[in-house]
A and B are shown apart, each in its own frame.
Chain A
């Protein structure tokens, strides 16, 4: 699982970095800073996991919590923005709702689901090592 999580974290980091700096325009610190932070801690933990460094699990714990926390925050902000715009503009059509939902659906696996799985795995690791 170490290598799997390492590879997945590296992939997530790349997807986030390419997504933020290669696709999203214009630059907005409110989105850029948290997503870049998530990508960097994931990248560090990925290197540590793949290289089997002694502090790899600790790095993964930090990466998973940071990703989970900031991921939940970013997803919350996007959802609240959608609701805010819906309140301001009224019924603005299915297409806009679909695009907004797609953005959230694309973010959730990397920023919420993966770190949650990692945290669950880390818990099991610590239980097994204590036994």
Chain B
């Protein structure tokens, strides 16, 4: 091949590639900002199910007028803003052609058209198809089989036939549904914050069983309850409930927290050597004991003296698990009665936080020293590791330890660490525009997925703790202002998606879900740690503003 032929080949290639790229881009894109001109999809939802739908070109308010007055019925009007064809007839292309929580899908087949609106896709739980490959879970577009199944049933055909012969389009809608709520950082008053915390705490107390355990994970769109359970999360939820009960002087919340605390103290407390520990089976983790200690300490400060001895016992267990370098042995073999020197995420921070709080009760210098050493271990990063500026773990507990210890054992290295981590989080925050306005302030988990609430919430717990210390430590006003704005934007993101009351028309048991924080815009499950982290951060902010 001569240089001239090579150049010609490359020119032809680049030209063809450019034409194909432009054609694909303009074929598939939607203009979501233009005034809606498409037809109206009018749906009636009753007890969480769609009972009727019609498509009209005008006067949608006249459709299903009687549903407006029918008890338990809710009419939703969506107007199509723009639509674009789905390229090809491939499962893969169809799966990746829908934007989660924003796009609907229509298909025309033998002269009839069926629509799956964003509400339908949320209800189907079809927006995120999770593909498990060993320990790795990947989100691979929408769940095509679910969506095809529903559309094919509506059109009286088979999913395979529909994929082969149907004409698919994706579409954006303007909906009159009040979810997500329209809340910006300017709306974040202390009353709004307090209401949100109380709603979340009431969600947990409403979903508590008589024995003190919680309904672990509720699915808002099916009403189903998961059979799983997790003690660190039970303890975390108890800690939050106890805080809310104490702060708002709410006896109902305090009673619920006490029941949840008693559940751990009386049912799942084991012996780990000379100490008590929390868990079940032949092996326990320090996370359960650390978070149980936090809950007990908060219950104790609310006047429940029966938790004093368990606080001291669990502090002894955590100290016994600490290594000379300040880290902890994260597991303990109950069956063989020895620590297991393996580390996982979160537990070191939880144990450090627990020991810092235990010191309030015990006044034992060993607790304070253990917490201080653990914090120092968590925030020490080698200056030789260039990646230390770019790679971060989940440090939400670390920065709460910083705040807890600041008056008794201030650590400036830890403060810088937490400020640096929040700067990294600011870079991960969605900005609108160009991001959708409803995601503004949320922490991104990738460009093609809806942001999750809990990673944002746990970072907020740390951010508010950092803000508290930054003020006390005399950090520059500009940095404090930047941090507070970051916090408010993130809170606004969380509040938009809290079930207050949420998309109740999609819920068979709407009362059960009130106050909960879902996983994301497309994952309308509420696990007990979702309100714990989100409302825990809000409560921390409310407390800070009271000072």
Smallest Cβ distance from A37 to chain B, in angstroms?
19
Cα separation A119 to B32 with both chains bound (whole Å)? 48
Using a CB-CB cutoff of 8 Å, which residues 24-46 of chain A contact chain B?
25-26
Smallest Cβ distance from B146 to chain A, in angstroms?
19
**Residue in A25, A72, A86, A116 whose CB lies within 8 Å of B25:** A86
**Residue in B27, B444, B446, B448 whose CB lies within 8 Å of A87:** B27
**Residue in A26, A87, A93 whose CB lies within 8 Å of B24:** A87
Smallest Cβ distance from B261 to chain A, in angstroms?
43
Indicate if the CB atoms of B24 and A80 lie closer than 8 Å: yes
Indicate if the CB atoms of A93 and B21 lie closer than 8 Å: no
Using a CB-CB cutoff of 8 Å, which residues 85-121 of chain A contact chain B?
85-93, 95-96, 116, 119-120
Indicate if the CB atoms of A116 and B6 lie closer than 8 Å: yes
New A-B pairs, 5, CB < 8 Å, besides A88-B170, A90-B29: A84-B96, A88-B97, A89-B447, A90-B30, A96-B446
Indicate if the CB atoms of B24 and A89 lie closer than 8 Å: no
Task: Using CB atoms and an 8 Å cutoff, list the residues of chain B in contact with chain A.
Answer: 1-3, 6, 13, 17, 20-21, 24-30, 32, 87, 96-99, 131, 133, 136, 138, 170, 433-435, 444, 446-448
Cα separation A71 to B185 with both chains bound (whole Å)? 49
Greatest chain A CB density within 10 A among B3, B21, B98, B434 is at B21
Indicate if the CB atoms of A88 and B28 lie closer than 8 Å: yes
- Interface size in chain A (residues, C-beta < 8 A): 24
Q: Which 3 A-B pairs have the closest CB atoms?
A: A92-B447, A91-B434, A87-B28
Indicate if the CB atoms of B17 and A79 lie closer than 8 Å: yes
Which residue in chain A gives the minimum CB-CB distance to B13? A72
Residues of A with C-beta under 8 A to B32:
90
Residues of B with C-beta under 8 A to A18:
none
Q: Please, could you name 27 A-B residue pairs with CB atoms under 8 Å apart, sorted by A?
A: A25-B136, A26-B131, A26-B136, A26-B138, A72-B13, A83-B21, A84-B25, A84-B87, A85-B96, A86-B25, A87-B24, A87-B28, A87-B29, A88-B28, A88-B29, A88-B96, A88-B98, A90-B29, A90-B32, A90-B434, A91-B434, A92-B448, A93-B447, A119-B6, A120-B3, A120-B6, A122-B1
Which residue in chain A gives the minimum CB-CB distance to B31? A90
**A76 part of interface (Cβ distance < 8 Å):** yes
Residues of A with C-beta under 8 A to B17:
76, 79-80
Greatest chain A CB density within 10 A among B25, B28, B434, B447 is at B447
**A58 part of interface (Cβ distance < 8 Å):** no
Indicate if the CB atoms of A84 and B28 lie closer than 8 Å: yes
Cα separation A85 to B3 with both chains bound (whole Å)? 35
**Residue in A80, A96, A122 whose CB lies within 8 Å of B21:** A80
Cα separation A116 to B9 with both chains bound (whole Å)? 11
Residues of B with C-beta under 8 A to A87:
24-29
**A52 part of interface (Cβ distance < 8 Å):** no
Residues of A with C-beta under 8 A to B30:
90
Indicate if the CB atoms of B434 and A83 lie closer than 8 Å: no
Residues of B with C-beta under 8 A to A25:
133, 136
Smallest Cβ distance from A75 to chain B, in angstroms?
9
Residues of A with C-beta under 8 A to B433:
91
Given contacts A26-B138, A87-B29, A120 and B1 within 8 Å (CB-CB): yes
Given contacts A26-B131, A79-B17, A123-B2, A85 and B448 within 8 Å (CB-CB): yes
Cα separation A2 to B2 with both chains bound (whole Å)? 19
Which residue in chain A gives the minimum CB-CB distance to B1? A119
Which residue in chain A gives the minimum CB-CB distance to B132? A26
Residues of B with C-beta under 8 A to A84:
24-25, 28, 87, 96
Cα separation A110 to B376 with both chains bound (whole Å)? 46
Smallest Cβ distance from B124 to chain A, in angstroms?
20
